[in-house]
Amino acid sequence: MPSDLVHLYMRIDHLPQMWCPGCGNGVIMRDVAQAIDELINDPDERFTREDFVIVSGIGCSSRAAGYLDFNSIHTTHGRAIAFATGIKLANPKLHVIVLTGDGDCSAIGGNHLIHAARRNVGLTVIVFNNDIYGMTGGQYSPTTPTGDLATTAPYGNLDRPFDIAQLAAGAGASFTARGDVFHARETTEIIKQAICHHGFSLVDVYSVCPTYYGRKNKKGDAVEMLKWQQANLIPGARFETMSQEDRQGKKPIGVLTHNDYPEYTDEYLKLIDACRKKGRK
């Protein structure tokens, strides 16, 4: 039975979604819908449904924009953040959420990612990070671990991978966080925080791709892959209490950086005001 979330926030006519059995993307899409639902219904927050815009690029992740029943725009490969920048500048009251993938946002769209982070444009970027190009059938991406197999790395991947959350933090993003598919509740909370953050926010959500990445690299089925997430992706508070030895091979999920920098569109409105006061041509 589909949950209320599906009826409320998804375009029923366009379901079932096209993702493979066991794919983690559906969970992340649900987390996003859940986060928005909770924010809309929170009397302390002032979110309305019509103010949300979902922007996506190209790839498995990006089909989510078509399923979520909001203002949605499915753009070109890599350019979602740049489209989103234009939307946000044109109408700063909108909550612009970019749904993107590891390849979409850190390979072909890497330049837009770091510059949007640097500018602190008020966008929320949710990365559906499955370590592989799924839509085209299993080529290595910028997050595929070194040595792993892909159709374009038949002898093992030589590249060193990006940590997208750290990449964004390094580029000056005011809010960066990590989530995953197994810890859905925690990840939903993180997404809520990211949406509420006034400035550029990025949540790197570890998805699972049993069809291509999992099968190629003998990671087992979806359940096995989720079990791996459970064992190795550790909610931040618990991670803090772990010894250096226990932390080996594990990563914390949760908020990595959270700073209040001036938000770009706010600053631009101030600039317009100052310019008009001067009234000089």
Partner 1 sequence: MSKAVLMQGNEAAVEGAIAAGMRFFAGYPITPSTEIAEGCARRLPQEGGKFIQMEDELASIAAVLGASAAGMKAMTATSGPGFSLMQENIGYGAMAEIPCVIVDVQRAGPSTGLPTSPSQADYMQARWGTHGDHPVIALSPSSVRETYTLIIRAFNLAEKYRTPVIFLMDEIVGHMREGVELPNPNELIINHRKMSFHDGANKQCYFVPEGEYVPAMKPFGHGERYNITGLAHDQSGFPTNSSQIAGKLCQRLMDKVEKNVDHICRVEEYAMDDAETAVVCFGGGARAVMEAVLQARAEGRKVGMFRPITVWPFPEKALKARLPQLKRILMVEHNHGQMLLEVQRVAGNEKPVDFLGRIDGTVITPEEILNKLAEMEGEHHAQ
Task: Report the interface residues with partner 1, using CB under 8 A.
Answer: 11, 14, 49-51, 53, 55, 65-66, 69-76, 78-79, 82-91, 93-94, 111-112, 114-115, 268, 271-272, 275-276, 279-281
Query: With the C-alpha atoms ordered 255, 36, 83, 206, is the resulting torsion angle positive or negative?
Result: positive
Q: Nearest distance from residue 186's CB to partner 1, in Å?
A: 28
Question: Distance between CA 65 and CA 236 in Å, rounded?
Answer: 29
In the complex, the smallest distance separating the C-beta of residue 123 from partner 1, rounded to whole angstroms, is: 11
Output the smallest distance, CB 64 to partner 1, in A: 12
In the bound state with partner 1, the residue whose beta carbon lies nearer, of 36 and 225, is 36
Q: What share of the chain is helix, strand, coil (3-state, %, to 5)?
A: 45, 20, 35
Enter the tokens of residue 133: 């190009």
C-alpha–C-alpha distance, residues 109 and 57, integer Å: 9
CB 129 within 8 A of CB 205: yes
| Distance from the first to the final alpha carbon of the chain | 62
- Work out how close the CB of 13 gets to partner 1 at its nearest, in angstroms, rounded to a whole number: 8
- Nearer to partner 1 by Cβ, of 112 and 183: the residue is 112
Nearer to partner 1, 260 or 273 (CB): 273
Q: In terms of CB distance, is 111 or 230 closer to partner 1?
A: 111
CB contact set of 179 (below 8 Å; sequence gap of 6+):
31, 186, 187, 190, 191, 203, 204, 205, 206, 253
Least distance (Å) from partner 1 to the CB of residue 93?
7
CB of 31 to partner 1, least distance (A): 20
Lookup: tokens for 81: 């953040």
| Nearest distance, CB of residue 275 and partner 1, angstroms | 4
210 phi, psi to nearest 5 deg: -65, -30
Tell me the closest approach of the beta carbon of residue 225 to partner 1, in angstroms: 28
- Kindly tell me the sign of the dihedral angle through the C-alpha atoms of 213, 219, 221, 224: negative
Nearer to partner 1, 78 or 210 (CB): 78
The smaller minimum CB distance to partner 1, of residues 231 and 272, is found at: 272
The backbone region for 78, taken as left when phi is positive above 0, alpha when psi lies in -120 to 50, beta otherwise, is left
Q: Do the beta carbons of residue 3 and residue 188 sit within 8 Å?
A: no
Residue number with CB closer to partner 1 (79 or 197) = 79
- State which residue, 1 or 90, has the beta carbon closest to partner 1: 90
